[in-house]
Chains A and B, each alone.
Chain A
Amino acid sequence: MKAISRKRWLPLLAAGAMLATTLAGCSGGGKTDESAASATPSAENVYKEKYDPPVTISTAWGVDPTLTFKNGETIENSVATKWAKDQFGIDIKSLWSVTDTNGAFGTKLRLAMSSGQEMPDILTIGTADNQIAQDLIDSGMYEEVGPLFDKYASDTWKAAIDQDPNVWNAYMRDGKKMGIPVLDYAYNHDYLLWIRQDWLDKLNLKAPTTIDEMEKVMDAFKNQNPDGLSPDQVVPLSIGFKTSMNTWMGDPSWIFGAYGTLPQQWNVDADGKLAYGSIQPGMKEGLQKLSDWLKKGYIPQEAALWDENKTAEPAVAGTAGIIPGPYWMSGWPLKDTVQNSPDAVWAPIEIPAGPDGKAMRHGTQFTNGVTLIKKGMEHPEAFFTYQNYLFDNYANPEPGSQYDNGLFAGYDYQLDADGKQLPIEEIDGGYVNVVRYLLVRDGARIPDAQMKALQSLAEGNEPKTKLEKDVAVNYGKETPAAAQVLLKQDAISYKNMFSGPTTETMKSKMDYLNKMENQTFNEIIYGKKTADAFDEFVSTWKAGGGDQITTEVNAWYDQVKK
């Protein structure tokens, strides 16, 4: 019996092997694409404001899960695709779309490539999927964009991108620009400290400007709480380390900034080289400080378990005294604090300085993704027609111009009988964040435009332009003042200077190094190891691939640095 069944396995295995070959045969179609289409687009293409007969641009969508649709529309067939057709004579052809949660867009892109599906002409990929963007560039399927950009992009767009030439860095290969960075508003995730002004006032304290002063304030918040909370109920400083020591809300990285380094990012050192922030000597002092604060109960006892949203909870509950976060936090989530603690007043303050008067915070890149253009795309200039128009007319529209109220009436704005803008809650059928229907997410953003608008409001001017009105309505009333606080410290904002593709050694070693780093740091903070464990970590880090990674990172940096 057994012998029989064993023999019967053989044909089965053979069949399996055959199937494997079949599969192999029907995949990998992307490769043929590449060889067939390596020619540069033909020279006779002419840039036009409107194409007649219409031209086609194919794309694929990673749909934001919160994006809504109305009037039976879909991402493939929406008010924005109709608009593209009418306005520019551009047919937007959707190859596929996917709701982008759990990294579904990146996965689907990889699967589409694996199964040899047609790849889109124009593809916009967010920073979260940076790895796949880098892979696509390396696949050779996508075109060098530098010459196209120089030839076709409008002056507004070029000026916007020139605000920070580093935005190209991530997409450079051998000095060639392989992808157009998607611009975003500056300082969006730079942070400052939000502090309970009402508590400060009741305690007769001034906003802290140094780490030492801050300790006194935190101690007073905890032990003489003005709202009468018992010490164990108060979280004087709400921060968390679960995901990272360098994040966007409840962030602890400025504490290390006070001692001269920012963890988990690459900073330019005194010699102009890139150095990994987590191994600099300042870290040790910062960790000791945090350890001390944990012991004294200034930071949450569960900080190692807390992610960003968790740190907001005590802030909203009215039990936290200070929370680091973006300048727009008064609009969300802090505006709900008064419902739980009626006297609560949050005020934005500057990042405090360390013993040497030094302060640092991590900066926000001016970009949140990249747009790729496929090799052999018939009309790459059509993409520029589309995008130039948005930069020239929509990115910062003049008062009274066509897009002064928004992009599409009945979607992101609606006017009443007198031509006045309705609050967005009253739009028939609901507000739609319609810029997410566009080929490039968020349409077109000029990095400094939003801060300028806020600045103008902070100076007491009435909102006039679309952006000013937008921030005035949607960003909470303390936001302009907060933006000013943020800008006052723009000199201490340091971006992660490494934005290139994962290096060879990073691929094999970085995960372990990160793990060891997080573990050591948290153990020091929790007093399970002494601060000397830090020195040990640094030498292990260097020997365990860190030095090699630093070399590779600098090799990359030398190539892109201007």
Chain B
Amino acid sequence: MAAGMQRIAINSGGGYVPGLNAVVTGAVLAAHNLGWEIVGIRDGYDGLMVDDNAPDGGLINLSPQIVENLGGAGGSILGTAARNDPFRMRTINADNFVQEVDRSDELLQKIRTKKIDAVISIVGGSALTGAHALSVAFKLSRKGLRTVCIPKSVENDVAATALSFGFNSALGYTTETLEHIRTAARDVHRIAVVEVLGQQAGWLALQSGMAVCADVVLIPEIPYDLRKAAAKLREDEKAGRRPSLVVVAEGATPKTGDASPTDKSQNLQGHGLRKSLSPLSDPLFGEGARVIERSGLAAETVALQLQRLTDHATLPIVLGQMVRGGGPTAVDRQLGLGYGAGAVRALENDQTGVMVAFQPPDLKFVPLAETINKVRTVPASGEFVQIARALGISLGD
């Protein structure tokens, strides 16, 4: 039993996902039942750190009355901070220079001053995708903050949990939209190439593509060869099925046959000083790097090439960030309430530095050290991939 726990806080870092209020509601109701006060910190930790944005002190007093109707609503009562980091806070110093300063000690002091005994943080996906919130929570935990994290991700790429909050809602919205797009594309004899979120993990593309029986699904875990995808589309057409829908995760990449980079770098001995000063002087610097230059590039690239290969008019469409909006599905409502209440239960059981993880049929508390630096990706020979193949969906390989 947590000794002396009287007042806790909850905040959200990383990007937005549908229905965050369900998590807040779960935590508030569970804390209330234990007789604990609970406050929300606005916009990650900005509520405590950025005075300009905090006319009410940056804290929201949360009660069962306040969250009574939040569970089903879209939006977030807390707000979120996608990139802000108390360890590198952008500050303007006395010389009017912008600089990034470690203000984590100041944050911890403010948390103590506000008599907050522990913080529940709703955190984003993998470190690879630039979601710093989990790493920030890990670092704050190492500095002594009692903290429990809750995984959220529309890409379902957080390790150690089978289901991140927000994924099911995004999947539902994506599936519904794909169905609309496919119908329209088929009617006008075009192939829609729809880009969905998924830099490292292709769950959203694969599962939504399966749900609508897309013709082709391209995911980051399986490098694609569009000639094979085009051949499949031609076969379908011969069999009387008009191709109409290709789903591509934004991080999907073509198969390549690059030589090893070390072989190439040996040709650069003559660059001497320039090369030692900056790799940018290296003409091969960054060659072949997988950079998502902007949203829509994957759809545009695949659409253009498929048009050449199939002689069908293609239509690139980007769903992108749109799927982050809206309210939660029934599954996410339950999951969110469960995650919120589970985080309070973790604190009640004196757990700290852990993430609440859904490992069916249980909610478990996983040390943060076991969740960072990992990405939950689609196993290339796993059950979902096999089902997709059984449904006749080409994965471009």
Binding between chains A and B: no
Interface residues of A (CB under 8 A from B): none
